[in-house]
């Protein structure tokens, strides 16, 4: 009996320390990135061109590249993802097709990011070269768009399902058509979830490296168009660290990425609580 | 009366197209991976590919055995660390954590899940590699162990959140029964709650494993990238995914080397799909079990 109580105490200490480990791991990774990166963190770091082959100066081309690539990914994945969610919740019953769509979305979510890199290389760079300009920002953005599509479908679908059935029926009762009901009841009600999904997808797209690594160029120039080549924060960080070119700039980029991700996470959470406070009836 | 095109049907058609986009994308991935990869086997036997121990693209030797063993080593190391840590953290959150501790740990786990893998890699390269070098007195700290450690941290959020869900799904009556028999908290946790939640816990480990197999950037920076058979966790190695990353830049599109790198991608792709199907079955069973 006493032995059981001692074991109980020891085990609880073990459980507490495993939770502490999580906190320590997070704090040390974020803290280290902050300490190493904060030195290069100033306005000119974001707005200047790189000098001396990325060893000095700013990271403007990578920032612009990241913005373009993420914008293309979202422009592709948001309408298709939301449309797919509307189809799944409003236009069809659960059946073989919906099951297949869900399995496909889950599988795309599980596909290793480097395999997306191979796929993007084969499809956009090799086969559709004439449309995408080969290894271009457009190819990279579309590859990321494919990758985040399941996230947007899933979050939109979940939030559309929370729109109350009674409200939809009232809308039909007032003589509204299906399309009017979707536009006036379903979409506004599901908006918080859709926005959260888009923010989550944005966070994922901005942090990915492997899917686009075969489509970037290392030239420190501002990308001319989406059909031209460029590079992003993540791919530039990889080359700087892998080749040991400049750890200072690498950590500056890392801190930039972490800051963006923290802001996106925070705003997704705030949006969710804001909407759920204001829309609950 | 003219037959007008009903806008509802047009829109339904467009939405159906959007709906099946996911199926289309998955099929395209399969088609392109195999289309670009399989021509390799016109020149090389499947067994030479899987069991050959020499990878020398210049001589058209494409044996992936060293990559497979490195991948297995990295993942086993990561699982050895992540399974005990992850399950005990999940038990902590679901069973004994006071509210304030939970409110601190949950967001920490979410943040860990959101950190890009390249940043894990950078951290591991400058911190963990050095720590290993010093603690094991090695000439070079870029080892499989360094990859395992950082991979373990990366898969912890998956292991914890799915294990926690399944532990929380165990009905309170199970615990009450155990306490009524005079069991301590730990006895209840270790002999009643965790065994009852085992399906979900196993699913969480399988999902973590899938994530680990596909991970590239974080481990590429720290495991040394040597194309040889690793002998221990303190050896350097090169995994299936990091080999693709490092060599695709040199491979000419359409060459045998290019085909071989796609074949390297097919292996983790198939394993990961398989694991994802198994784990989603386990999860749906573990949820319906108590209903």
pLDDT in tens, B216-230: 999 999 998 888 888
Verify whether the Cβ–Cβ distance B126 to A101 is below 8 Å.
Answer: no
Least confident of A214-228, B106-120, B230-244: A214-228
More confident residue, B55 or B287: B55
- Is B210 an 8 Å CB contact of chain A? yes
The candidate with the shortest Cα–Cα distance to A257, out of A23, A36, A43, A66, is A66
Residue B165 lies in a domain: yes
Q: How far is B172 from chain A (nearest CA, A)?
A: 20
Asked if residue A75 and residue A18 are part of one domain, the reply reads no
Chain B interface, mutation test: which of A1, A8, A9, A19, most B Cβ atoms within 10 Å? A19
What are the distances in angstroms from CA A141 to CA A30, A32, A138, A197, B254? 27, 30, 5, 18, 23
Q: Tell me, what's the ipTM?
A: 0.91
Q: How far is B83 from chain A (nearest CA, A)?
A: 11
Residues 6+ apart with CB under 8 A from B199: B166, B282, B283, B285, B286, B289
Verify whether the Cβ–Cβ distance B18 to A119 is below 8 Å.
Answer: no
Which residues in A lie closer than 8 A to residue B6 (C-beta atoms)?
none
Asked if residue A244 and residue A141 are part of one domain, the reply reads yes
Residue B279 lies in a domain: yes
The Cα–Cα gap between A25 and A12 comes to: 20
* For residue B2, pLDDT beyond 60: no
Residue B84 lies in a domain: yes
Which residues in A lie closer than 8 A to residue B7 (C-beta atoms)?
179
- Is B136 an 8 Å CB contact of chain A? no
The Cα–Cα gap between A122 and B76 comes to: 32
Nearest CA in chain B to A120: B29
Asked if residue A168 and residue A30 are part of one domain, the reply reads no
Average pLDDT over residues B131-145: 92
Nearest CA in chain B to A107: B273
* Mean pLDDT (chain A, rounded): 89
Residue B224 lies in a domain: yes
Residues 6+ apart with CB under 8 A from A169: none
The Cα–Cα gap between A246 and A88 comes to: 49
Position B167 confidence tier, pLDDT thresholds 50, 70, 90: very high
Verify whether the Cβ–Cβ distance A83 to B20 is below 8 Å.
Answer: no
Q: What is the pLDDT of residue B291?
A: 56
Q: Which residue range(s) make up the domain with B137? A: 74-286
* For residue A270, pLDDT beyond 50: yes
CA angle B208, B213, B215 (to 5 degrees): 90
For the domain that residue B90 is a member of, what is the CATH number? 1.10.3720.10
Asked if residue A143 and residue A35 are part of one domain, the reply reads no
Count the domains in chain B. Answer: 1
Asked if residue A56 and residue A167 are part of one domain, the reply reads yes
Per the CB < 8 A criterion, the answer to whether A171 and A181 are in contact is: yes
Q: Which residue range(s) make up the domain with A7? A: 2-40
Per the CB < 8 A criterion, the answer to whether A100 and A107 are in contact is: no
Count the domains in chain A. Answer: 2
Helix (H) or strand (E) holding B62: strand B61-62
pLDDT tens figures, A8-55: 899 999 999 999 999 999 999 999 999 999 988 888 888 888 888 888
Question: How big is the A-B interface in CB pairs under 8 Å?
Answer: 244
164-193 in chain B: CB under 8 A from chain A: 184-187, 189-190
pLDDT tens figures, A65-105: 999 999 999 999 999 999 999 999 888 888 899 989 999 99
What are the distances in angstroms from CA B121 to CA A209, A238, B36, B197? 11, 9, 29, 33
Position B67 confidence tier, pLDDT thresholds 50, 70, 90: very high
């Amino acid at each position: 009996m006493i032995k059981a109580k001692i074991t109980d105490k020891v085990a609880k200490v073990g459980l507490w320390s495993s939770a502490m480990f999580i906190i320590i791991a997070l704090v040390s990774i974020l803290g280290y990135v902050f300490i190493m990166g904060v030195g290069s963190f100033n306005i000119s770091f974001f707005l200047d061109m790189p000098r001396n082959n990325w060893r000095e100066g700013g990271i403007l081309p990578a920032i612009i590249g990241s913005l373009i690539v993420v914008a293309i990914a979202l422009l592709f994945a948001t309408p298709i993802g939301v449309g797919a969610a509307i189809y799944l919740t409003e236009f069809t019953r659960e059946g073989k097709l919906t099951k297949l769509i869900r399995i496909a979305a889950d599988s795309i979510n599980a596909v290793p990011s480097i395999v997306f890199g191979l796929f993007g290389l084969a499809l956009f760079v090799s086969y559709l070269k004439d449309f995408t300009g080969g290894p271009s920002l457009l190819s990279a953005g579309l590859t990321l768009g494919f990758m985040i599509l399941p996230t947007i479908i899933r979050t939109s679908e979940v939030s559309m399902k929370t729109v109350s059935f009674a409200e939809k029926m009232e809308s039909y009762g007032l003589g509204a058509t299906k399309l009017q009901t979707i536009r006036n009841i379903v979409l506004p009600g599901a908006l918080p979830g859709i926005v959260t999904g888009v923010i989550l997808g944005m966070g994922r797209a901005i942090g990915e490296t492997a899917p686009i690594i075969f489509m970037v160029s290392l030239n420190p120039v501002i990308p001319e168009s989406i059909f031209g080549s460029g590079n992003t924060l993540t791919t530039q960080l990889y080359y700087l660290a892998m080749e040991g070119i400049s750890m200072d700039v690498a950590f500056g980029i890392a801190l930039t990425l972490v800051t963006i991700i923290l802001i996106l996470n925070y705003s997704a959470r705030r949006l969710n609580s804001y909407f759920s406070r204001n829309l609950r009836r | 009366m003219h037959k007008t095109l009903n806008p509802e049907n047009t829109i339904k058609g467009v939405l159906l197209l959007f709906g099946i986009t996911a199926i289309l994308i998955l099929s395209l991935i399969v088609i392109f991976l195999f289309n670009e990869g399989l021509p390799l086997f016109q020149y090389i036997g499947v067994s030479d590919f899987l069991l050959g121990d020499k990878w020398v693209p210049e001589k058209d030797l494409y044996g992936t055995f060293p990559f497979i063993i490195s991948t297995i080593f990295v993942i086993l190391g990561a699982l050895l660390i992540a399974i005990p840590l992850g399950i005990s953290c999940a038990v902590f959150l679901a069973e004994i954590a006071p509210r304030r501790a939970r409110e601190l740990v949950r967001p920490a786990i979410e943040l860990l899940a959101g950190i890009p893998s390249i940043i894990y890699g950078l951290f591991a390269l400058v911190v963990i590699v050095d720590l290993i070098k010093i603690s094991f007195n090695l000439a070079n700290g870029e080892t499989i162990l360094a990859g395992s450690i950082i991979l373990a941290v990366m898969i912890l959020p998956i292991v914890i959140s799915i294990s926690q869900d399944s532990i929380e799904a165990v009905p309170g009556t199970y615990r009450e029964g155990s306490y009524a028999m005079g069991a301590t908290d730990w006895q209840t946790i270790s002999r009643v709650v965790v065994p009852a939640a085992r399906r979900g816990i196993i699913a969480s480990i399988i999902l973590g494993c899938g994530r680990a197999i596909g991970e590239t950037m974080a481990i590429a920076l720290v495991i040394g990238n040597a194309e040889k058979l690793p002998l221990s966790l303190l050896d350097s190695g090169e995994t299936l995914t990091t080999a693709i990353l490092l060599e695709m830049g040199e491979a000419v599109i359409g060459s045998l080397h290019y085909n071989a790198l796609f074949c390297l991608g097919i292996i983790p792709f198939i394993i990961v799909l398989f694991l994802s199907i198994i784990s989603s079955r386990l999860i749906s069973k573990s949820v319906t079990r108590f209903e």
